Amino acid sequence: MNFFSAYFPYWLGFTLTEWMELWQGFGSVVGIGAIAYLLMCFVVWKWQNRFIFFPSSQMTNTPDQWGMDYEVISIPIPQRPQQFLYAWWMPAVGTPRGVVLQLHGNGFNVGANLDQSHVFHQLGYSVLLFDYRGYGQSAGPFPTEKQVYEDAEIALDYLLKERGCRASEVIVYGHSLGGAIAIELATHHPDLAALIIQCSFTSITEMIDYDGIYKIFPVQLLLNHHFDSLGKLSQLNLPIFFIHSAQDKRIPPQMSQTLFNAAKNPQKALYIVPDAGHNNAASAGGESYRRQVEQFLNQLCP
């Protein structure tokens, strides 16, 4: 027995050997925990689009159930012959007042977004509603930020080239994540008629801070999907109408207020829909909602 082991105090009844075994066990637990944490960080970095996009292939509604005539469109993806965007073209009854390119949010598919299409259709607009690749019946890989931006560009290009629309008569509507996509699209097409951004957010980073779910991760190092709408608004100078539901439990209405404050064009508006949630602003808002949208659109095209 050496000097150290002979005089080592038997704290809490443990011998030196037992303390060493405990320390080795603790080190093993810490090592396993560190490996598990690094593995989780890798998963968040590599597959974070799986935490952002929630597509569904199940179609629950079609435009005819809302009393709208429609045409099923398959919009090809350039240089990718096996991929396409599934879309519905809902022509206005009579002479159209304009065209709405509708960008839905991160969940479900086009079938869950027809209440909004119906509002625009009632107001005399033709509507193009499409699914991003990986959603509904659109063929392609699982979505990413870059890919949904490409899809919006392709859908707008279809309106301009195949439908003969002018950019100045196209209103881009985006709900939730679709609002971030609409703002990105407008940075490349400043001649669009207007944007309508509904129940959307400032950026993915601020949404992560708001949710608080991923606080244990070094988000700034891992994030490769940003959807930074707030940072892009300074580049835009076109009319924008921000809409948010007062009872939105997914995205706080304050984010639309922040976006509204950052918008440069004096032709901007903010409407908070009372007693509505994240996905039902149009239906819960009813006639008041329709009048607010119509009032904004009348400023563009009396």
CATH code at 116?
3.40.50.1820
Tokens 């919006």 sit on residue? 152
pLDDT by residue for the chain (302 residues), tens digit each? 454 444 445 545 556 676 566 666 666 666 677 778 778 777 777 889 998 999 999 998 999 999 999 999 999 999 899 999 999 999 999 999 999 999 999 999 999 999 999 999 999 999 999 999 999 999 999 999 999 999 999 999 999 999 999 999 999 999 999 999 999 999 999 999 999 999 999 999 999 999 887 778 787 888 899 999 999 999 999 999 999 999 999 999 999 999 999 999 999 999 999 999 999 999 999 999 999 999 999 998 65
**φ, ψ dihedrals at 23, nearest 5°:** -65, -40
DSSP 175: E
Token digits for 45? 């970095």
Looking at the structure of the chain, the number of domains it has is 2
Examine the domain organization and report whether 40 and 58 are in the same domain.
no
Range of the domain at 260: 54-300
pLDDT reported for residue 73: 97
Examine the domain organization and report whether 16 and 89 are in the same domain.
no
Strand partners, 90: 127
Among 188, 171, 183, 180, smallest CA distance to 117 is for 171
Strands (E), the chain: 54-55, 71-77, 80-90, 98-103, 107-108, 125-130, 170-175, 194-198, 240-245, 268-273
Examine the domain organization and report whether 190 and 283 are in the same domain.
yes
Examine the domain organization and report whether 130 and 266 are in the same domain.
yes
Examine the domain organization and report whether 9 and 146 are in the same domain.
no
Examine the domain organization and report whether 143 and 228 are in the same domain.
yes
pLDDT reported for residue 25: 62
Examine the domain organization and report whether 36 and 76 are in the same domain.
no
Coil vs helix vs strand at 133: coil
Examine the domain organization and report whether 205 and 123 are in the same domain.
yes
In sequence order, which residues have a C-beta less than 8 Å from that of residue 105 and are 6 or more positions away? 113, 175, 176, 177, 178, 279
CB atoms within 10 A of CB 101: 23
H helix or E strand, kind and range, residue 20: helix 16-46
Examine the domain organization and report whether 163 and 63 are in the same domain.
yes
Examine the domain organization and report whether 173 and 31 are in the same domain.
no
pLDDT reported for residue 40: 78
- CA 216 to chain CA centroid, Å, is 23
Find out whether 261 and 202 touch, Cβ atoms under 8 Å: no
CB atoms within 10 A of CB 146: 11
Examine the domain organization and report whether 119 and 190 are in the same domain.
yes
Examine the domain organization and report whether 260 and 291 are in the same domain.
yes
